Amino acid sequence: MKKLVFSIAFTGIASLLFAQKEKKFNDTTLLQPVEVQAIRAAEKMPFAKTDINKKEIEKNNLGQDLPFLLNQTPSVVVNSDAGNGVGYTGIRIRGTDATRINVTLNGIPYNDAESQGTFFVDLPDFASSAGSIQVQRGVGTSSNGAGAFGASINLSTNELNKKFYASTSNSYGSFNTFKNNIQFGSGLLGKHFTIDGRLSRISSDGYIDRASSSLKSFYLSSAYTDDKNSLRLNVFSGKEKTYQAWNGVPENLLAGNRTYNSAGTEKPGDPYDNETDNYTQTHYQFFYNHKFNNYWKGNAAFFVTRGKGYYEQYKANKKLSDYGLPDYFNGTSTIKRTDLVRRLWLDNYFYGSIFSLQYQKYKTQLIIGGGYNAYDGKHYGEIKWAAVQAAVPANYRWYNLTAYKKDFSLYSKWTQQLNSHWQSFADVQVRSIGYRIHGFRDNPALETDEHYTFLNPKLGITYFNKGWQAYLSYALAGKEPNRDDFEAGTSQQPKSERLHDVELGFERKMSRTSFGANLYYMYYRNQLVLTGKINDVGAYTRINIPNSYRAGMELQGKAIISKWMNLAANISFSENKISNFTEYIDDYDNGGQQTKFYRKTDISFSPSVVGGASINFIPVKHAEVNLISKYVGRQNLDNTSQRSRSLNPYYLQDVRLSYSIETRMVKTASIVLQLNNVFNKKYEPNGYSFSYIYGGELTTENYYFPMAGMNFMVGVNLRF
């Protein structure tokens, strides 16, 4: 019964071949800013992509983080530390995690320069300001910033709003979750100027114990435009305070205490109430676009991103010597240990520029672009409080480290329509990275200075004819290791990774239906994976695996069945393998590590089946009922392919009800009720595993990040 809706939706893919009538999809197409055109894949480019317009974003945006708004796109799996999609969240595309997904905001790099991750919690409710989003699967087109090593996500807020608007969105839901925002746009003032703004607040207690979130943000944009020029200044910022829920739930507690949170429990008695992550990130973006003539246009942008924050922890019975402090003599005895509260700080600037020059004449398009960015970061730790306070000097820092990274890239893209049915595409990028690290928290004397240069070519061809489109492409991408990978001695420094990506697909668009399929083969050289191995400075780091691959098929389709019913579905099948894998297991009995060899194992967190579907009913004018389904196959917690170290497959069913009206005072008023996980499924989309030998026995410990059972959000939106 609970899989009925999902089955019906996928059955709809088959009906696409027969349901052809005169009505067309009502997809809103927004004029793309120049800086976005330079890096996005256009309609006929030979890459797998999904475009999401403003209307679709608003429909799903009730307060959950950005990854959850993308959950219905092909091959996507999302997770949440707090269990309800608010606070720290994660996304994987084709099994590729967020550190390998290139993310840009108006063409400007967003990935953290050192970890290469994307922390959308630092920009709460940013989707409310987005005019469009494009998700590219695979290597895709050349972009700015961190190398796309499996996917890319581009968000644009720079669309020109010519008419005045004002709106407010307010939501409330399970776990005391609130979202409130107000937005406004001046429209064109004096035919040239516009101002847009947003103020947002999101808060939640979270599903997991104490996994609360307090998130605030603002967005302000001012633009000038005339026939040949445009100037725009964006300033936006996010501030987050989230109670830590990073540790997961141990397997032995999963059945009886799914919401358990170990964070803060080192404190005697009640858990420490300020075991929180605190971070503020502010973005300054300036854009200049110029149209030279009917064939040439260009743009340049400059940006500064300021980030500063810390996470706070209560640590019990810690050695003073571990914090660089001498033993303390209090007059009667020598004290070597103390309880303490520490703060681990990040304090950084990320700045640079991007540019593009675009030529378009008849059947030829040429784009030349690139960018330069630099990261200047500090890592330091402070002791805020100690039970033996006299042992700790005022404003004491037990480590104070710096890191500097620079990234320079140039690309050229050429598109040529060969005749009325064929179009070719060529793209080449040169990317150079320099990275200096002056010590790590646990290894302050360890330094590294690395340089990488990548040549990333891409070739493709597209055939199109009467609603049919087929494409074939090849792309090569290179990626440098992240900060954690470098915490190794000189004999174990990581190598850069390379990815060869082949995409073959087709699409068919008709008046009432569309469907498509994409085949991909992604072959990795020297992919960095966790093996459990300890390096020569005692840290667990990823090591290079010579050969691994991902191969799969993605199917998707849409159909308008009648005036009151339409459906959409996608499903992905894949095989994700490591040719040869060696697991390293800590041996506490004898010291050192033991090894175990595996052949052709599954890559962790890479389900072989991922599907999404929705059936939309319009029973009366202005009312809509959406049945939203998601299926994720079994995921492995590590690379050993052992079922005992895996996440169970799960099927989810959500229901969304909406009704809108128009009045003289309010342009549009709508109320939305969303019921998530209506079958109350107990599931875990994320976790981790580790093994060790002790007392002559092999012990494996699994930790999970459970998601909430049935929960709801209700929202009221007013647009003036």
Confidence of residue 489 (pLDDT cuts 50, 70, 90): low
Average pLDDT, the chain: 92
Check if the beta carbon of residue 120 is closer than 8 Å to that of residue 133: no
CA–CA dist 392, 320 (Å, integer): 9
Question: The tokens of 62 are what?
Answer: 């009730």
Check if the beta carbon of residue 25 is closer than 8 Å to that of residue 560: yes
Find the helix or strand (DSSP H, E) in which 397 lies.
Answer: strand 397-417
* Burial class, 346, CB count within 10 angstroms (exposed 0-12 / middle 13-18 / buried 19+): middle
CA–CA dist 16, 567 (Å, integer): 10
Could you report the per-residue pLDDT of 371-385, keeping only the tens digit for each? Answer: 999 999 999 999 999
Q: What are phi and psi of 444, to 5 degrees?
A: -65, -20
CA–CA dist 680, 654 (Å, integer): 10
CA distances from 353 to 52, 290, 306, 690 (A): 26, 16, 15, 42
Per-residue pLDDT at 16 exceeds 60: no
Distance of CA 414 to the CA centre of its chain: 29
State how beta strands 229-243 and 101-105 pair: unpaired
Confidence of residue 5 (pLDDT cuts 50, 70, 90): very low
Check if the beta carbon of residue 142 is closer than 8 Å to that of residue 39: yes
How much is the pLDDT for 539? 60
How much is the pLDDT for 530? 81
How much is the pLDDT for 493? 83
DSSP character at residue 391: G
Could you report the per-residue pLDDT of 556-593, keeping only the tens digit for each? Answer: 999 999 999 999 999 999 999 999 999 999 999 999 89
Find the helix or strand (DSSP H, E) in which 14 lies.
Answer: helix 4-15
Report the range of poorest mean pLDDT among 61-75, 466-480, 484-498, 702-716: 484-498
Question: The tokens of 403 are what?
Answer: 């890191």
For the segment 127-147, the average pLDDT, to the nearest whole number, is 91
CA–CA dist 34, 107 (Å, integer): 9
How much is the pLDDT for 491? 64
Evaluate the CA torsion angle 251, 256, 259, 263 in order and state its sign.
negative
| DSSP 3-state percent helix, strand, coil across the chain (nearest 5) | 10, 60, 35
Question: The tokens of 384 are what?
Answer: 């805020």
Could you report the per-residue pLDDT of 76-127, keeping only the tens digit for each? Answer: 999 999 999 999 999 999 999 999 999 999 999 999 999 999 999 999 999 9
Report the range of poorest mean pLDDT among 30-39, 145-154, 360-369, 397-406: 30-39
Q: What are phi and psi of 369, to 5 degrees?
A: -155, 180
Q: What is the 3-state secondary structure (H, E, C) of 169-212?
A: EEEEEHHHEEEEEEEEECCCECCCEEEEEEEEEEEECCCCCCCC
Per-residue pLDDT at 31 exceeds 60: no
Per-residue pLDDT at 405 exceeds 70: yes
- The CB density around residue 419, as the number of other CB atoms within 10 Å, is 7
Tokens 């088959």 sit on residue? 14
Confidence of residue 148 (pLDDT cuts 50, 70, 90): confident
CA–CA dist 215, 199 (Å, integer): 11
How much is the pLDDT for 492? 74
Could you report the per-residue pLDDT of 590-645, keeping only the tens digit for each? Answer: 998 999 999 999 999 999 999 999 999 999 999 999 999 999 999 999 999 999 99
Confidence of residue 18 (pLDDT cuts 50, 70, 90): very low
Residues of the chain with pLDDT > 90: what percent? 86
User: Which pTM was predicted?
Assistant: 0.92
Per-residue pLDDT at 490 exceeds 80: no
Buried residues in 192-228 as b, exposed as e (16+ CB within 10 A): eebebbbbbbbbbbbbbbbbbbbbbbbbebebebeee
CA–CA dist 87, 373 (Å, integer): 28
Could you report the per-residue pLDDT of 36-53, keeping only the tens digit for each? Answer: 777 888 888 999 999 999
Check if the beta carbon of residue 492 is closer than 8 Å to that of residue 536: yes
User: What CA dihedral angle connects 47, 50, 52 and 57, to 10 degrees?
Assistant: -140
Per-residue pLDDT at 32 exceeds 90: no
DSSP character at residue 96: B
Domains and CATH numbers, the chain: 4-719 (2.40.170.20)
Per-residue pLDDT at 12 exceeds 90: no
Q: What is the 3-state secondary structure (H, E, C) of 47-67?
A: CEEEEEEHHHHHHHCCCCCHH
**129 three-state secondary structure:** helix
How much is the pLDDT for 21? 34
For the segment 537-545, the average pLDDT, to the nearest whole number, is 74
